[in-house]
Amino acid sequence: MIRKFQAFIFFVVLLSIIITGAFGVYFLSEYAENANRQFLVSASLFFEKEIAGGAAFDAAGKDCIGIFSRTSGDLRITTIDRSGKVLYDSAEDADKMDNHLDRVEVFSAFKSGQTAYEKRYSRTVGADMLYMADYDEASDMVVRISMPLVEYERGVRQMQWAFLAVIAATVLAISVFGFFYSKRLTKPLLELKKAAESISTTDYSARIIATGPDEIGALSAAFNEMAERLERDMRELEEKNTRLAALQDMKAEFAANVSHELKTPLTSIRGFIDTLRGSENIDPVTQKRFLEIIDIEAQRLHQLINDVLQLSEIERIEQDSEAERFDINPLIEETLNMLREKASERKIELIWTEGDPLPVLASKSRMKQILINLLDNAINYNREGGAVWVKAVREPDRIISVSVRDTGEGIAEEHLSRIFERFYRVDKSHSRELGGTGLGLSIVKHIAQLYEGSASVESEVDKGSTFTVRMRIADDLV
């Protein structure tokens, strides 16, 4: 019965993967074809507009191909009158071409007075082509634009191969995992079966060791909690990735740094998972310690992803739609209170004297992010028993200046010019031990730039550092 249940679960998972993958390939193929059709329609509208404006066929065709061709020769434009005569062709001599009224898409466009599409093999090009014929009522002719489907078909094949690879990898992973895990899973169930058989033979003294069911129950609860958390995090990540789709100009160096930063926690997580999966005799204490390490690395990974998304969002926007009017002094006090316990653990004194109200027009959450990043760094890199000073003042030209000074170890001069760069760390090992992602100061700099400001630092080794953020956010209307 147990093996039948395992086989059923395996079949359901495999069937789900196959169905999901098949639907995914189908919908992606449909999306790609619709995108190609819309692309041809856009090119046709441009060409027809040029003709309506008095441009010659040849000039309009060259302009259209120059704008819409993604690669050389991948777009062909043909105009046909109602008799089927070719008036213009961007690739061939129109006078030498056959009558085109028998072309399916041309005939359909004339008949319906609308747009028609057709896919077929072209002997001239030697490839499958997508044809779009649009009837132009003003000139009583059909504008036909075609493009080869080589890249489209190659993409579909790649999706199909990727789908097959996922199935193969999944089957292999499930088989290997199922072989080892089933031994441990079935042990308490077999004990339950044995006890039930004993009771059925009137041996009522038979008992079951409680650790079996308790482990299954705990594992089920832990897995359900993890699945819910993972679903929620993935949904949030998907939404954020959607917003990141517009950031196509992200620098290659940034992508490489992100990959490197992601690799470290992922490698650690993978190592501990492999250890837990491959060993049957790990004691509960060691298991718990491994899971705690995995959780720490996952939190670090989650924080890194959040910082990357936040930085990308700040770089993308030009004006803050979340700006509101408020006094920045209570926000400083709130942030200090939030970090006061952390500072007291290292006997660090947080010093701030509230002055006159400083009304600002900005995003309260972004102002708080600046304060948290600067104060957290000042506490982390300070010496025990040190101090941190916070100051916020009004300067000319609607500038609000916020500075954080510490009595820490300071920063060497050669690092000062790069301290606000993404992923730049003065002491990489120490920074990772403190849980930093290497993006905090970069986020501070980009928030300052969002408000037409800047971020700077003054530091002296063994004496401390002063970070200053200047932003044009002073609100004169409050």
- Domains located in the chain, CATH noted: 210-316 (1.10.287.130), 324-472 (3.30.565.10)
- Listed range (251-260, 306-315, 436-445) with the worst mean pLDDT: 251-260
**At 139, is the pLDDT very low, low, confident or very high (cuts 50, 70, 90)?**
confident
As a whole number, mean pLDDT of residues 16-24 equals: 72
Q: Which of 96-100, 146-150, 206-210 is modeled with the greatest confidence?
A: 96-100
13-49 per-residue burial string, b: 16 or more CB within 10 A, e: under 16: eeeebeeebeeeeeeebeebbeebeebbeebbebbbe
For residue range 21-49, list pLDDT tens digits in order: 677 667 767 777 788 888 888 888 888 88
**At 71, is the pLDDT very low, low, confident or very high (cuts 50, 70, 90)?**
low
The token pair that represents 57 in the structure block:
């066929």
Pairing of strands 464-472, 127-136: unpaired
Q: What is the DSSP letter of 348?
A: P
Judged against a pLDDT cut of 80, whether residue 397 lies above it is answered with yes
Judged against a pLDDT cut of 50, whether residue 250 lies above it is answered with no
The pLDDT, as a whole number, for residue 121 is: 82
Three-state helix/strand/coil letters over 274-294: HHHHHCCCCCHHHHHHHHHHH
CA atoms within 13 A on the CB side of 31: 7
For residue range 337-360, list pLDDT tens digits in order: 999 999 999 999 999 988 889 999
Asked if residue 171 lies in contact with residue 10, where contact means CB atoms within 8 angstroms, the answer is: no
The pLDDT, as a whole number, for residue 367 is: 92
**What are the φ and ψ backbone dihedral angles of 390, each rounded to 5 degrees?**
-120, 135
**At 464, is the pLDDT very low, low, confident or very high (cuts 50, 70, 90)?**
very high
The pLDDT, as a whole number, for residue 219 is: 42
Pairing of strands 387-395, 349-351: parallel
Q: Which of 70-74, 111-115, 472-476 is modeled with the greatest confidence?
A: 111-115
Whole-number average pLDDT of the chain: 77
Neighbouring C-beta atoms of residue 251, cutoff 10 Å: 9
The pLDDT, as a whole number, for residue 391 is: 94
Q: What is the DSSP letter of 123?
A: T
Nearest to 452 by CA among 437, 469, 436, 467: 469
> Degrees (nearest 5) of the Cα angle 316, 318, 319?
125
Q: What is the DSSP letter of 476?
A: T
DSSP state letters, 406-438: E-S----HHHHTTTTSTT--SSHHHHHHTT--S
Q: What number of residues does the chain have?
A: 478
> Between 429 and 126, whose confidence is greater?
126
Asked if residue 291 lies in contact with residue 225, where contact means CB atoms within 8 angstroms, the answer is: no
Neighbouring C-beta atoms of residue 212, cutoff 10 Å: 17
Partnered with residue 80 across adjacent β-strands are 86, 142
For residue range 142-185, list pLDDT tens digits in order: 999 988 877 666 766 777 677 777 777 777 777 777 666 666 66
Q: d(Cα 150, Cα 105) in Å, to the nearest integer?
A: 20
Locus of tokens 């009595």: 407
Judged against a pLDDT cut of 80, whether residue 280 lies above it is answered with no
The token pair that represents 160 in the structure block:
């199909």
Q: Where are the beta strands (DSSP E) in 221-279?
A: none
Q: d(Cα 258, Cα 45) in Å, to the nearest integer?
A: 42
Share of residues in the chain with pLDDT > 70 (%): 68
For residue range 48-69, list pLDDT tens digits in order: 888 888 888 888 888 888 888 7
> Between 262 and 64, whose confidence is greater?
64
- Listed range (288-297, 334-343, 398-407) with the worst mean pLDDT: 288-297
As a whole number, mean pLDDT of residues 121-133 equals: 80
Handedness of CA 207, 210, 215, 216 (dihedral sign): positive
**What are the φ and ψ backbone dihedral angles of 261, each rounded to 5 degrees?**
-70, -35
As a whole number, mean pLDDT of residues 366-387 equals: 92
Which amino acid makes up residue 5? Answer: F
Q: Is the pTM of this model over 0.75?
A: no
The pLDDT, as a whole number, for residue 72 is: 47
